[in-house]
Amino acid sequence: MAVGLLYDKSVKCINCGQAFQTKRMRSNSVRMEKVDTDFCPHYKNENPIYYDVNVCPHCGLAFTDSFSPILPAIREKLEKEYLSKIRIPELCGERSWEDALRSYELAFLSSRIVKEKLLIQANLALRIAWLYRYEKRPTDEKRFLEYAVSLYVSMYESQDYDEEVMPDSKLMFIIGELYGRLAEWEKTRIWFSHLFMDKSADQKWRTRGRDRWLEYKSMITNIDDPDGYEGVR
């Protein structure tokens, strides 16, 4: 990696409270190439997503800047189900794809154990799916798209999220879009129709949803095996 793309950021662990430094990419060195319809960004050179997870070199906890501090009541569970089971990884330096994947897997695990907000859990699962997409591993990508969509659906059904951070219409769009990528056509249709029938939905998401539904519909009529998954690009 070219010198100067990364810098050290000081972070305080939300579990053990100790400070450490971890790499981030400088925003002025990020070169976006394209963005997929599920918001997966592709970069010309290095990928800043690789550095969004902090992994504490003292206790081993992986977390993002969106996590809440770990409450004392949950520490024992976290210790038993996660921290005592891993060798503390060294992930504060420059990261390979494998390092990025490991960071996200650990952060996803910790988000599940500490019952972080569903939005945080779902976003982590989606990012793991993207990591597999970068490496063209559709079976693994599909597994994490499934985790992500089921978490987004739980969010929608429980209404357990902040509308300011994730507007309803965007959430319905994402759910429809991910089901489309999973070739779950009936669910794709249902979620996009929720979006189209919601009179209060943001026009931007309705239009995007309509465009995607038309594309998916043409795929459904053009493919021999509508249940097969080949990944959608």
| Site residues for Zn ion per CB under 5 A | 13, 15-16, 56, 58-59, 61
* CB 7, min distance to Zn ion, A: 21
Q: How far is the CB of 11 from Zn ion (least distance, A)?
A: 10
Measured from the CB atom, the residue of 6 and 62 that comes closer to Zn ion is 62
Instruction: Name which of 15 and 64 has its Cβ closer to Zn ion.
Output: 15
* Beta carbons of 13 and 61 less than 8 angstroms apart: yes
Please, how many CA atoms are within 13 Å of residue 86, restricted to the half-sphere of its CB? 23
> Considering the complex, what minimum distance in angstroms separates the CB of residue 63 from Zn ion?
9
Structural contact between residues 58 and 13, judged by C-beta atoms closer than 8 angstroms: yes
| Cβ neighbourhood burial of 229 (10 Å; 0-12, 13-18, 19+) | middle
Residue 56 or 145 having the CB closest to Zn ion = 56
Contact between 176 and 185 (Cβ < 8 Å): no
Closest to Zn ion by CB, 61 vs 131, is 61
Whole-number minimum distance, CB 117 to Zn ion, in Å?
Answer: 20
Q: Compare residues 82 and 130 and give the one whose CB is closer to Zn ion.
A: 82
If the CB atoms of residues 61 and 166 are measured against Zn ion, the closer one turns out to be: 61
Residue 83 Cβ, how far from Zn ion at the closest point, in Å? Answer: 9
Shortest approach of Zn ion to residue 58 CB, angstroms? 4
> Nearest distance from residue 12's CB to Zn ion, in Å?
9
Q: In the complex with Zn ion, which residue's Cβ is closer, 78 or 178?
A: 78
Strand-strand pairing, 54-55 and 62-63: antiparallel
Q: Rounded CA gap, 193 and 102, in Å?
A: 37
